[in-house]
Amino acid sequence: MTSAQGDTYRCYSSHSSSSYLLSLPSEPLLSLPSEPLELLVSGVHREPALLAQPGTLVLPGHSLTLQCHMEASFDRFVLTKEEGLTHPQRLNGQLSPNFPLNHKNHTHGDCPTNSSECSDPLELMVTGSYSKPNLSALPSPVVISGGNVTLHLALRERFGRFILTEEGDHRFFWALDSQHASGQSQALFPVGPVTPSHRWTFRCYGCYRNRPLVCSHPSDSLELLVSEWLSDRPSLSVHPGPRVASGENVTLLCQSQNQRDTFLLSKEKTADPPLRLRSEHGARQYQAEFSMSPVTSAHGDTYRCYSSDSSSPFLLSHPSEPLELLVTGQYQCAYYTAEDILSERSDPLLLVVTGEYSAPSLSAQPGSVVASGGNVSLSCSSKITSGPFHLLKEGEADPRGSMKSEWREHAGRWQAIFPLGPVKPSHGGTYRCYGSQSSNPNVWSQPSDPLHIEVTGVHKEPALTAQPSTLVLSGHSLTLQCHAEASFDRFALTKDEGITHPWRLDGQRSPDFPLGHVNCTHGGRYRCYSGHHLSSAWSAPSAPLDILVADLDWNLIILIRVSVALVLLLSLLLFLFLLFWCQSKGKTLVE
């Protein structure tokens, strides 16, 4: 078919027997003419371009105009909707290239002219039918020039796909099928390398798979900021200090010696956009003060600041040195249910910062080894911290207690006493204490040295024996053995234990205590204890065992032993003699 065959056609009908009378107009032998058929031949001229104003993403109720752009010599334009593989059945042309759409809906449009090729298809989408998704940048919207970033799209509704658009450029970026996790739809878009050649501003939309051209409200716009483009590096400081209690007022001050009109404050490793403030000139520097009043646990983080110019607000300076803000105090958490209902708050969690002051000292009175049912006092003291002292036991999340300190004039120290008792097996363990100041009770000192509390009398006492004997010559070997039930695997030996308990029990896995080649210093009274290696609870002490170390040679020992034997023999003979004499005298008196 050629362009010459394009025209308007009609047809007629008649009986075959009267076909020769067609040339006689006076005879009404023909039917009425059909409706006109306009035959249009497309593809003769170059295709036009179809554009949408203001864009291909349209909110319900907003105006939309489709424009068919062609060479100036053309004066007839046609718009088709949702054309499939076949050509449209009819082209209704108009003289204007603009097609205002009064009732917006999702559509595919193209606009062949009367005899041109079809334009490229233009896909229109209606947005605003669902709630907007969330668009963020991972790990941060601040990107080093030439770096890469990942855009994260998420929404609670189960969308089948997401669309990402760049502001000012209405091309579509189609995501892979969205993933469903944690009750929401989400997708990731890698972007990069990010360069300062233009502004990187994005929005995203969510769409259902069965209605791909009806999408959600647009997300809030996300602008990527290119850092390390300006040469300066501002400084960042905090007042009153980097460690503050929850509820206090904090000011972060960002300063630069270069003339900058804007400063930005950013949290490290967070997708939140930076805070922006206009700069002020003072003290020969340009600066901005970021106030946080009052601070909460959410403010605790590492911060950096940047400078920029209003002429290119997306181009930033080098980052300042990092500043870590620590917020102490009580924290609580809550969660949202699937119905977006906020749960009850958790129990409060106390957060403290340690290491601000030098360590206090911790001791036990009367000693760190205490019998079950007895009493012991732990003393925490310091020359530096005058506020409350805090006692913690290893393995426990919460402090054992906090005590107000008192000044001890004779010792020149602040001191607090933590009484323990009546002591139970659960009191055994490792303790440390911390000091603090009353003005900031959630900032603590370094920890004291560990103090181990051992509880005795929890299990049955063992038996202590000596091998080869309790009497041993100086220079000879001696081993003490602690005999306990088979389930015990920890043993301790004490010497010359008086009325009070020993200061410490140094346990070992073996029940044998070799003393080596003994001398006179090894003599004394010994006791042993048994226990389990996973516990600070011990048995009652064994019966005392006296060790005698003889510093004599063998000849003298033999002489002493023979002399003792002779004395015993003479004593026995004397006894027998007296017994015989008494019996004989008794018989004489009877007679």
Predicted pLDDT at 20: 43
Q: Residue 87: helix, strand or coil by DSSP?
A: coil
The Cα–Cα gap between 419 and 391 comes to: 11
139 upstream amide cis, omega within 30 of 0: yes
Predicted pLDDT at 424: 92
Q: What angle do CA 173, 63, 164 make, to 5 degrees?
A: 10
What are the CA-CA distances from residue 586 to residues 572, 574, 576, 589 (Å)? 21, 18, 15, 5
The Cα–Cα gap between 318 and 312 comes to: 15
Q: In what order do the strands lie in the sheet with 250-256?
A: 235-239, 250-256, 285-292, 280-282
Predicted pLDDT at 22: 43
Contacts (Cβ under 8 Å, ≥6 apart) of 571: none
Predicted pLDDT at 517: 92
Predicted pLDDT at 485: 86
What are the CA-CA distances from residue 401 to residues 330, 404, 417 (Å)? 16, 10, 11
- Is-contact 364 451, C-beta < 8 A? yes
The DSSP bridge partners found for residue 308 are 262, 316
The Cα–Cα gap between 539 and 528 comes to: 9
Q: What is the pLDDT of residues 330-342, one digit of tens each?
A: 777 888 777 667 7
Predicted pLDDT at 37: 74
Predicted pLDDT at 362: 96
The Cα–Cα gap between 381 and 362 comes to: 7
Retrieve residue 125's tokens. Answer: 């989408």
Looking up tokens 């027997």, which residue turns up? 17
- Is-contact 268 300, C-beta < 8 A? no
What are the CA-CA distances from residue 26 to residues 21, 23, 30, 32, 552 (Å)? 9, 9, 11, 15, 167
Looking up tokens 């959630």, which residue turns up? 442
Residue type, 214: V
pTM of the full structure: 0.51
Domains of the chain with bracketed CATH: 1-16+24-126 (2.60.40.10), 134-226 (2.60.40.10), 228-330 (2.60.40.10), 361-455 (2.60.40.10), 460-550 (2.60.40.10)
Contacts (Cβ under 8 Å, ≥6 apart) of 183: 156, 338
Predicted pLDDT at 457: 92
Predicted pLDDT at 247: 80
DSSP 494-561: EES--SSPPS----BS-SEEEEEE--GGG-EEEEEEEE-TT-SEEEPPPPPEEEEEE---HHHHHHHH
Contacts (Cβ under 8 Å, ≥6 apart) of 130: 155, 157, 159, 206, 215, 216, 217
Predicted pLDDT at 57: 62
The DSSP bridge partners found for residue 122 are 109
What are the CA-CA distances from residue 577 to residues 568, 580, 584, 590 (Å)? 14, 5, 11, 20
The Cα–Cα gap between 354 and 76 comes to: 81
Q: pLDDT truncated to tens, each residue of the chain (591 aa)? A: 665 666 677 887 766 554 444 444 445 566 778 888 766 666 667 778 777 776 666 655 566 778 787 776 676 777 776 644 444 545 556 666 677 776 444 444 444 444 456 666 656 666 666 778 888 898 889 999 899 998 888 887 777 778 888 876 545 566 667 777 666 788 888 888 998 888 888 888 888 776 767 778 888 889 999 999 999 999 999 998 888 887 889 999 999 989 899 999 998 877 788 999 998 887 678 999 999 888 887 788 899 999 999 889 999 999 999 998 888 777 778 887 776 677 887 887 778 888 889 999 999 998 899 999 999 999 999 998 888 999 999 988 778 888 889 999 888 899 999 999 899 999 999 999 999 988 777 889 999 999 999 999 999 999 999 999 999 988 899 999 999 988 898 999 998 876 556 667 778 888 999 999 999 899 999 999 999 888 889 999 999 999 999 876 666 767 878 888 899 999 888 888 888 888 887 766 665
Predicted pLDDT at 256: 93
Task: Report the sign of the C-alpha dihedral through residues 383, 385, 386, 392, in that order.
Answer: negative
